[in-house]
């Protein structure tokens, strides 16, 4: 029992139910992003850069392209895009790199919109549930008249306020995790951009050197 109400009745309240579903979707998005970002090992990335430079120096571009295609890391995808046409002019290759970084940002930012939306609409949905609940409480008291004391109305208001409380409880962690993941993405993008530019500059250097 919560505030004199059966828990099942509270859980099945339309607004509470909507908030519960929203919280489950947000939790799924958080878990998905945590697992996704954990796969991006900085050590593995450093190893890949070293191997890529070694293969470029030895002229094994096709082997590097095959390795980049099979790997699922963002840096490997960017390198693969660069190696599709390694003979392109320098400025064109830099444009390809910029495009790769943009695609990577979109990939890393998947499902963040869910957290941003949840942190915004959860309090509003909770507030709407409260307003509807208060209206119902006042209407119930007005309909029954003097037969119902003020306690009944206050109980209805207290129950209605639960949706606002739940909305805030959902919104706060969603907002925290959204900002955490956004900062994580910015860090990863900076790292990927530096690494991919290092490989690109080395590719251009070796390519131009071999033409001398």
Backbone angles phi, psi at 87, to 5 degrees: -90, 0
pLDDT digits (tens, 9 = 90+) for 84-93: 887 888 888 8
Compute the average pLDDT of residues 138-155.
Answer: 61
- How many domains is the chain partitioned into structurally? 1
Res 38: pLDDT: 82
Res 179: pLDDT: 94
| Structural domain that includes position 146 | 7-211
Give 58's contacts (C-beta < 8 A, 6+ positions apart). none
> What percent helix, strand, coil does the chain show, rounded to 5?
85, 0, 15
Is residue 1 included in any domain, yes or no?
no
Question: Which residues are 5's β-sheet partners?
Answer: 2
Is residue 197 included in any domain, yes or no?
yes
Is pLDDT of 26 > 90? Answer: yes
Is residue 2 included in any domain, yes or no?
no
Res 115: pLDDT: 92
Is residue 13 included in any domain, yes or no?
yes
Is residue 95 included in any domain, yes or no?
yes
**Token pair belonging to 111:** 């499902």
Is residue 138 included in any domain, yes or no?
yes
Region of poorest pLDDT, from 21-25, 62-66, 129-133, 137-141: 137-141
Angstrom distances, CA of residue 77 to CA of 29, 56, 68, 99: 23, 16, 6, 11
Is residue 23 included in any domain, yes or no?
yes
Res 151: pLDDT: 57
What sign does the dihedral 147-151-152-153 (CA atoms) show?
A: positive
Placement of tokens 């959902």 in the chain: 170
Compute the average pLDDT of residues 166-193.
Answer: 91
């Amino acid at each position: 029992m919560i505030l004199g109400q059966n828990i099942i009745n509270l859980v099945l309240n339309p607004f509470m139910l909507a908030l519960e579903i929203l919280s489950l979707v947000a939790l799924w998005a958080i878990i998905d992003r945590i697992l996704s970002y954990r796969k991006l090992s900085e050590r593995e990335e450093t190893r890949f850069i070293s191997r890529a430079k070694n293969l470029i120096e030895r002229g094994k571009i096709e082997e590097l392209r095959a390795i980049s295609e099979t790997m699922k890391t963002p840096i490997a995808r960017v390198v693969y895009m660069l190696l599709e046409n390694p003979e392109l002019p320098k400025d064109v290759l830099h444009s390809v790199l910029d495009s790769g970084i943009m695609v990577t940002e979109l990939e890393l930012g998947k499902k963040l919109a869910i957290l941003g939306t949840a942190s915004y609409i959860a309090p509003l949905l909770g507030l709407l549930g409260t307003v509807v609940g208060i209206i119902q409480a006042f209407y119930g008291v007005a309909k029954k008249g003097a037969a119902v004391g003020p306690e009944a109305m206050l109980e209805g208001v207290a129950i209605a306020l639960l949706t606002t409380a739940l909305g805030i409880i959902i919104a706060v962690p969603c907002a925290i995790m959204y900002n955490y993941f956004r900062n994580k993405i910015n860090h990863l993008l900076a790292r990927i951009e530096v690494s991919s530019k290092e490989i690109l500059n080395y590719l251009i250097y070796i390519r131009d050197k071999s033409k001398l």
